[in-house]
Amino acid sequence: MQIAKDTAVWLHYTLRNDAGEVLDESEKDEPLNYIHGQGDIVPGLEKALTGKGAGAKLKVSVEPDEGYGERSDERVQTVDRNAFENETEIVPGMQFQAQGPEGLSIVTVVQVVGDHVTIDANHPLAGQRLHFEIEVVNVRKASDEELEHGHVHGEGGHHHH
Ligand code: ZN
């Protein structure tokens, strides 16, 4: 079975930046799983995986426009500290999830001056070229229920039912 739209895919990955530093990787006994063709992984990687089967190993370099996008200064803004009502201490480097016009995003605190907090809503990997090393573990057709939920069920999947 080859990776195509609406297949459930399990893969191991290592993600490095241009400097060769590991930014992210899958757990040894727990490959990442996702449903292909619904934008769960960055477009450049989704394209490269299309047509690959279980056992395939590949190295893929993805430019920012096919990855997490370019950085935008418009996503950096200064807000009042009281916008963070649930946080007792706000320090540079803190990250949290925020609901924005383009969906859920990761926001990073860059600077705190008095009651003013500067936050950066660019994806932490925006503007970076991404180097993936991939091993495809398993591919099968996604069930109707999985397609409806938008995620993989069963072994290694979400257990939220
Ligand atoms: Zn589900």
| Structure tokens belonging to residue 52 | 């690959």
Q: Ligand 1 center to residue 145 CA distance, Å?
A: 7
Q: Does residue 1 form part of some domain?
A: no
First vs last C-alpha separation in the chain:
28
Tell me how far the alpha carbon of residue 147 lies from the centroid of ligand 1, in angstroms. 9
Tokens of 152: 């993989």
Q: How far is the CA of 151 from the centre of ligand 1 (A)?
A: 6
Q: What is the pLDDT of residue 84?
A: 80
Q: How far is the CA of 33 from the centre of ligand 1 (A)?
A: 13
pTM of the model: 0.80
Distance in Å, CA 132 to ligand 1 centroid: 27
Closest residue by Cα to residue 17 from 135, 132, 136: 132
Give the CATH number, domain containing residue 110.
2.40.10.330
Q: Is residue 158 part of a domain?
A: no
Instruction: Copy the structure tokens of residue 54.
Output: 């279980």
Given this model, what pLDDT does residue 53 score? 98
| 143 SS3 class | coil
* Total domains in the fold of the chain: 2
pLDDT, tens digit only, all 161 positions of the chain:
999 999 999 999 999 999 999 999 999 899 999 999 999 999 999 999 999 999 999 999 999 999 999 999 999 999 998 888 777 789 999 998 887 776 777 899 999 999 999 999 998 899 999 999 999 999 999 999 999 999 999 765 555 65
Reference 117, options 89, 153, 148; nearest CA is: 89
Same domain, 84 and 112: yes
Judge if 12 and 64 occupy the same domain.
Answer: yes
For residue 14, list its beta bridge partners: 25, 133
| 105 plus 78 within the same structural domain | yes
> Distance from the CA of 150 to the center of ligand 1, in angstroms?
7
Are residues 23 and 62 located together in one domain of the fold?
yes
Backbone angles phi, psi at 124, to 5 degrees: -55, -25
* Residue entry with tokens 């996008």: 69
pLDDT of res. 158: 56
Domain of residue 96 covers 73-120
pLDDT at 155: 63
Kind and range of the H or E run holding 80 = strand 76-80
